[in-house]
Amino acid sequence: MLFVATLPLVLMGAAWQAPGTAAAREKNNSTAVPAPTFYKDVLPILQDKCQSCHRSGEPAPMPLVTYEQTRPWAGKIAAAVDMKMMPPWFADPRYGKFSNDESLSAEQIRTIGAWADAGAAAGDAGDAPAPRQWNEGWNIPQPDVVVKMPKPVQIPAHGEVEYTYEIVPTHFTEDRWVQMVEVRPSSPAHVHHGVVYIRPPDSAWLRHAPVSEPFTASMLSDPEERRQAHETTSDLLLVYAPGSAPDRWADGMAKFVPAGSDLVFQMHYTTNGEAASDETSVGLVFAKKPPKQRVVTLQLNNHALMIPPGAEDFRVEVQGTLPNDATLLSLFPHMHLRGKRFEYDIVHDDGSVETLLRVNYHFHWQLSYKLAEPRELKAGTKLRAVAWYDNSKNNPHNPDPDKWVTWGDQTSQEMMVGFFDVAIPAGMDKWQFFVRRGEN
């Protein structure tokens, strides 16, 4: 899978309303409702919806834990929640229910706005809820095994960094079932995303690449391996991006890591003016019992896309039928800079379309959408992914609105990938899953 170079998320554009300016002067003088305060009204929202990322050691740029830390950001916070840029969540609320949806209610948004507009008062510290206890280190239970990059990757202060790989042997002497998995970069502020692949011992993928040390595709001497770096059929263990939650599958479901596998880290680092080094770790919690179902990551791709210059809302679709019964668990759309919307549908036999997810796509955030209720799908179910692209000059991320755009791994090219996780019988692997009944 490919993720590409990115720019920092810029929430600005509209004028930011700093506390103490016009809005504060115009503050509501009516006697009815007192203005919200930090301790009483705002802090509980921050604890619940923001501090998972906005605390030290986590990917967001500033902690929002104390009043002193939060006060200078009041105007930006109000604007970010009003624009629904924060917390990052891009699913159209009309479709589907997702267990990792942390969006704010309309009332919470109003509370934060009113607080900022009225001058962002602290209020009475006695009203504050107890500080939220965070598990520093892991958000999954203590891992059974931590697989860490043996050599740190040096990240420069400036410029773009080519995808960096590190192949790490697991030394597993027996097959393992992984029920929970979490990626922890040591420099999260520099990580745009990471993908961890499972490379079984019989896989030929990147066999000539160095092991236990960082490398990039352009450092590989064999052109075929250079190309392969970006294309693999290896199963994904998980994808990490700011905002992505660890994977925890229900009891009875797990990912399979064969004995002797390597984990291949594919890291996309971004620079932010300060050089750093990163050693990313993956924590694995093994299933306590052999699972009934194996989780695999599949994809609906359309490699044939051709987006005309200037097109504002160009639609690309791909359909596939499930070869066997499966339980649908989560959806993870992927496009590049011209991505605008992405949708997953079931097309029923009578032609009716049931939308599972529609994402108003935001290139800077690559999120997985975990179904609140896993969905049993029968063999033959028609799944459809539809993507819309904005190749016009109105798209602020568009590097060149005058170009025809086709598939490719560069930011200036496009992708149309609908990843989805399904659970299938534990004894079946990905290849067996694709054998349709009656075909062998």
Contact residues for ligand HEC, defined by CB under 6 A? 8-9, 11, 49-50, 52-54, 59-61, 73, 76-77, 80-81, 86-88, 102, 104, 242-243, 364
Residue (51 or 381) nearer to ligand HEC, CB = 51
Residue (132 or 364) nearer to ligand HEC, CB = 364
- In whole angstroms, give the CA distance from residue 267 to residue 286: 24
- In whole angstroms, give the CA distance from residue 427 to residue 425: 6
3-state secondary structure of 69: helix
Residue (104 or 383) nearer to ligand HEC, CB = 104
Instruction: Give the shortest CB-364-to-ligand HEC separation in angstroms.
Output: 6
Residue (52 or 398) nearer to ligand HEC, CB = 52
Strand partners, 204: none
Burial 206-238 (b: 16+ CB within 10 A, else e): beebeeeebbebeebeeeebbebbeebebbbbb
Instruction: Give the shortest CB-359-to-ligand HEC separation in angstroms.
Output: 15
Residue (315 or 364) nearer to ligand HEC, CB = 364
Instruction: Give the shortest CB-208-to-ligand HEC separation in angstroms.
Output: 36
Residue (44 or 320) nearer to ligand HEC, CB = 44
Instruction: Give the shortest CB-75-to-ligand HEC separation in angstroms.
Output: 9
Burial class (CB in 10 A: 0-12, 13-18, 19+), 5: middle
Q: Do residues 104 and 81 make contact, with C-beta atoms less than 8 angstroms apart?
A: yes
Residue (300 or 367) nearer to ligand HEC, CB = 367
- In whole angstroms, give the CA distance from residue 326 to residue 420: 11
Separation in Å, CA 146 to CA 53, 143, 260: 22, 6, 16
Sign of CA dihedral 423, 428, 429, 432: negative
- In this structure, the strands spanning 262-269 and 293-301 are unpaired
Instruction: Give the shortest CB-131-to-ligand HEC separation in angstroms.
Output: 16
Instruction: Give the shortest CB-380-to-ligand HEC separation in angstroms.
Output: 37
Sign of CA dihedral 231, 234, 240, 244: positive
Contacts of 405 (CB under 8 A, 6+ apart): 305, 306, 307, 338, 389, 391, 412, 413, 414
Instruction: Give the shortest CB-409-to-ligand HEC separation in angstroms.
Output: 22
